[in-house]
């Protein structure tokens, strides 16, 4: 006997409902959220999808790409970086769009020789325009335990946070002619690669391959965002849940956030393109004047 069409429909509907509810309660699942993009077996999802291991040896690194794209999101992940002599290794966590006028929000962790600090390299591309590097050193050792790294972007501002502390903010200054990320959807990426041509002060120190494979761990990935569907952001719909969230509504840092950002800039920033007068002899980019914390 075949199942009557109606009950098939009920089963189907119930499954869809359960699945769409589960989206909000399910823990991290790298299987569900990501594809392994490259690395030929060097990127591995473990513990039923809860943990991602990226590895790097002298032949290749590895990387993943999110299945979904977002126009506006908050993404969080916990990372434990390569320990010991990590000089030359670069672990990256970033969001980026495709094509020529790409948008990108980058966090890159540049390894160092044993006992010396990592550099956190950040950059923001808006409609193809980058050259906005800022670098920081962390106030903890990022190799001994997991720490939380966050990227948020909404119609008003972009922010990068480390354990909840803002280290970088880029406001929407489109009204002053500075391009902003507000048209293209971005996917989320994580990778571990060899950057010894670049990451160690222009190649001064080479990666020590006798210590390979180098390994970086990721867990607790969360994307709370406006999924890109049918050529538009889910947040264009007024029934979208995301538009009621704090990360989406935030227009600027609150007082405490501003104090923390100023402190990070004073104590932990090691490079700021806005202060690089040799690089910009005709004046630093316009947003440098518009974008300072209050």
Ligand X SMILES: *[C@@H]1O[C@H](CO)[C@@H](O)[C@H](O)[C@H]1NC(C)=O
Binding site for ligand X (CB under 6 A): 110, 112, 116-119, 199-200
Nearer to ligand X, 77 or 87 (CB): 87
Nearer to ligand X, 205 or 274 (CB): 205
In the complex, minimum distance from the CB of residue 147 to ligand X, in angstroms, rounded to a whole number:
17
Nearer to ligand X, 87 or 105 (CB): 87
Give 184's contacts (C-beta < 8 A, 6+ positions apart). 71, 97, 98, 99, 101, 102, 103
- Given the residues 58, 108, 133, 287, select the one marked as catalytic: 108
Q: Is 104 a catalytic residue?
A: yes
Q: Dig out the tokens for 274 from the structure.
A: 């806005």
Q: Is 211 a catalytic residue?
A: no
In the complex, minimum distance from the CB of residue 34 to ligand X, in angstroms, rounded to a whole number:
27
Nearer to ligand X, 117 or 293 (CB): 117
The half-sphere exposure of 123 on its side-chain side, counting CA atoms within 13 A, is 15
In the complex, minimum distance from the CB of residue 204 to ligand X, in angstroms, rounded to a whole number:
9
Phi, psi of 141 (to 5 degrees): -90, 110
Nearer to ligand X, 120 or 161 (CB): 120
In the complex, minimum distance from the CB of residue 220 to ligand X, in angstroms, rounded to a whole number:
25
The sign one gets for the Cα dihedral 62, 68, 73, 74 is negative
In the complex, minimum distance from the CB of residue 111 to ligand X, in angstroms, rounded to a whole number:
7
HEC string of the chain equals CCCCHHHHHHHHHHHHHHHHHHHHHCCCCHHHHEEEEECCCCEEEEHHHCEEEEEECCCCCEEEEEEEEEEEEEEEEEEECCCCCCCCEEEEEEEECCCCCCCEEEEEEECCCCCCCCEEEEEEEECCECCCCEEECCCCCCCCCCEEEEEEECCCEEEEEECCEEEEEEECCHHHCCCCCCCCCEEEEEEEEECCCCCCCCCCCCCCHHHCCEEEEEEEEEEEEEEEECCEEHHHCCCCCHHHCHHHHCCCCCHHHHHHHHHHHHHHEEEEHHHCCCCCCCCCCCHHHHCCCC
Nearer to ligand X, 88 or 185 (CB): 88
Select from 177, 183, 135 the least CA-distant residue to 287: 177
In the complex, minimum distance from the CB of residue 91 to ligand X, in angstroms, rounded to a whole number:
12
Catalytic residue numbers?
Answer: 104, 108
């Amino acid at each position: 006997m075949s199942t009557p069409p109606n009950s098939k429909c009920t089963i189907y509907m119930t499954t869809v409902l359960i699945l769409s509810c589960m989206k909000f309660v399910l823990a991290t699942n790298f299987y569900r959220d990501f594809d392994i993009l490259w690395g030929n077996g060097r990127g591995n999802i473990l513990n039923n999808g809860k943990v991602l291991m990226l590895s790097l040896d002298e032949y290749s690194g590895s990387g993943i790409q999110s299945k979904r794209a977002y126009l506006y999101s908050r993404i969080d992940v916990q990372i434990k970086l390569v320990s010991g002599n990590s000089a030359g290794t670069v672990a990256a966590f970033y969001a980026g769009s495709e094509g020529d006028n790409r948008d990108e929000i980058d966090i890159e962790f540049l390894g160092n020789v044993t006992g010396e600090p990592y550099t956190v390299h950040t950059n923001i591309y808006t409609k193809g325009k980058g050259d906005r590097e800022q670098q920081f050193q962390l106030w903890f050792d990022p190799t001994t335990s997991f720490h939380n790294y966050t990227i948020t972007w909404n119609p008003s501002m972009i922010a990068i946070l480390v354990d909840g502390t803002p280290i970088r903010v880029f406001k929407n200054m489109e009204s002053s002619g500075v391009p902003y990320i507000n048209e293209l959807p971005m996917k989320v990426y994580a990778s571990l690669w060899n950057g010894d041509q670049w990451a160690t002060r222009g190649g001064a120190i080479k990666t020590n391959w006798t210590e390979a494979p180098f390994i970086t761990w990721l867990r607790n990935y969360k994307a709370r965002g406006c999924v890109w569907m049918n050529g538009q952001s889910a947040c264009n719909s007024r029934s979208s849940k995301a538009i009621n969230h704090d990360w989406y509504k935030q227009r600027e840092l609150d007082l405490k956030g501003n104090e923390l950002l100023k402190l990070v800039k004073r104590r932990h920033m090691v490079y700021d393109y806005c202060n690089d007068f040799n690089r910009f002899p005709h004046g630093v980019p316009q947003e440098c004047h518009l974008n300072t914390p209050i």
